[in-house]
Amino acid sequence: MLINLKQNLLDLSQPHIMGILNITPDSFFEGNRFTDLSKVLDRAEKMLSEGATFLDIGGHSTRPGASPVSEEEELNRVLPVIEAIMQKFPEALISIDTFRSNVAQKCVEAGAVIINDVSGGILDDKMFETVARLGVPYVLMHMRGTIETMTQMTDYDDLVNDVLDDLQKKVYQLRQLGQKDIIIDLGFGFAKTADQNYVLLKHLEDFRLLDCPMLVGVSRKSMIWRKLNISPNDSLNGSTVLNTVALMKGANILRVHDVKEAMEAIKLISFLG
């Protein structure tokens, strides 16, 4: 599977890593809260040196119960970071984690090459047309409701088929607009219970029907630490276990806080042939 980045084709038939850089003061994972630019650049350098292909930059927390942030504040958080990373690491491939089409556009103009939308277009009705016009790869994630209400939106008739149907309809909408590169994300933790997350992970291979690369983001999420009765800070081992399962079920991109460990999982899985 190939995607077009900066007029260069990237082969996703071998898994890649997307490192998470949350430019927020309230990330659920304490080790990923960054507000100081020099610390962000240090973290970016570490992730790139450990093997991250992409850096995913977000300025609006999407954890359940997160406080809303204005569009202006979101841009004030992410644009200086994108500009600084592009200046220091001009070959870096930046993903902007936003559900706002205007933020997405301004960040692509600043150097981002992927739009990662946790809402799958439902929080901004201009997102799909903006993505298609910009012509950059789009991470289409499944979600219901809003950041404030999604925890109450977990009733499904048939979880796997419902999520598959929703993503399929949106892939069709994007294709009709001329969008070429679509990466799907099942939205682990977004309008799903902990048990539902595991059902989706078990059935990850079913989503190959969409004929799109798959991104899996389970790193240090509550589906791990609540099940193990630990904290997010202690959930690296659990994250590696689930990342390994995702790789064995066909994940093309792992979105992670811990790049080195995820790269080791990819390398070891490759020896299975």
Phi, then psi, of 49 in degrees rounded to 5: -70, -25
pLDDT in the model for residue 29: 45
Residue 32 inside a domain? The answer is: yes
Q: Which residues of the chain have pLDDT under 50?
A: 28-29
Residue 7 inside a domain? The answer is: no
DSSP-assigned letters across all residues of 71-93:
HHHHHHHHHHHHHHHHHH-TT-E
Residue 9 inside a domain? The answer is: no
The tally of domains found in the chain comes to: 1
pLDDT in the model for residue 63: 73
| CA-to-CA separations, 63 to 75, 160, 190, in angstroms, rounded | 19, 23, 9
The residue behind tokens 């950059």 is 136
SS3 state of residue 228 = helix
Residue 98 inside a domain? The answer is: yes
Residue 176 inside a domain? The answer is: yes
Residue 136 inside a domain? The answer is: yes
Residue 5 inside a domain? The answer is: no
Q: In terms of residue numbers, what domain contains 234?
A: 15-266
Residue 273 inside a domain? The answer is: no
Catalytic residue numbers read 221, 255
Q: What is the pTM of this model?
A: 0.94
pLDDT in tens, 208-253: 999 999 999 999 999 999 999 999 999 999 999 999 999 999 999 9
CATH of the domain at 239: 3.20.20.20
